[in-house]
Structure 1
Amino acid sequence: MTNEPTTNSTEAVQCKPVEVVVGEKGVERAIKHLKRKMASEGILRELKRRRHYMKPSVRRRKKASEAARRRRKREKQLGSGGRI
């Protein structure tokens, strides 16, 4: 059995397993470490993104709306700080 990615899309996916060693600290500590590691590598975000197929037009609209939301948030923060 090889460690090659299996995917339906044309983009290449790196398969790198996430490993956590359960030592003397216990299982609870290992679970916390695993969650932190998965969050830092963006695994959960990627899973949520790939859960359902999104048409390219919908993806573009979502990307534009997210950019507008970030821009409004940044303008709001700059406005409240006294800067113009």
Structure 2
Amino acid sequence: MRVFVMDNNIDQALKVLKKRLQREGLFREMKRRRAYEKPSERRIRERAEAVRRSHKLARKKAQREGLIAAPKRVEKKRPTSVPR
């Protein structure tokens, strides 16, 4: 994974890197590996994750087909006084 630093703006590059690592699930994986997980707990967690994924896919499919309303998107407003 690469993050390019533009105009020596390391803060922005770190922000982008953290967002990408979060999206990849690296922080969740590190937290999970801190302590030993029993095989029975692992199976329970994996089943719960599978159920969560299937519910998410079903919800997205229903939204695409118009059976349920899509969530409202909140747009972030940028301050106009700060130059880009």
Task: Calculate the TM-score normalised by the size of structure 2.
Answer: 0.49
Higher relative contact order (CA 8 A, sep 6+): 1
Task: Calculate the TM-score normalised by the size of structure 1.
Answer: 0.49
